[in-house]
Amino acid sequence: MDREPWSPRTADVHSRYRDAERRHALCPYCAVGCSLAVYTRDGEVVGIEGDENSPVSRGRLCPKGANTLQLLRNPHRIDRVLYRAPYAGAWEERSLEWVVDRIARLVKEARDADLVEYDESGLKVNHLKSIASLGGSACDNEENYLIKKLFTGGLGVLSVENQARL
Residues at the interface with ligand SF4 (CB under 6 A): 27, 29-30, 32-34, 57, 61-62, 64-65
Contact 160, 132 (CB under 8 A): yes
- For the chain, the maximum distance between any two Cα atoms, rounded to a whole number of angstroms, is 100
Residue placing its CB nearer to ligand SF4 in the complex, 20 or 48? 48
Residues 77 and 80: their CA atoms lie apart, in Å, by 9
Q: Nearest to ligand SF4 by Cβ — which residue?
A: 65
Half-sphere exposure of residue 94: CA atoms within 13 angstroms, side-chain side = 15
Residue placing its CB nearer to ligand SF4 in the complex, 30 or 81? 30
How many residues are given for the chain? 166
Residue placing its CB nearer to ligand SF4 in the complex, 14 or 77? 77
Least distance in angstroms from the C-beta of 66 to ligand SF4: 7
Least distance in angstroms from the C-beta of 61 to ligand SF4: 4
Least distance in angstroms from the C-beta of 49 to ligand SF4: 11
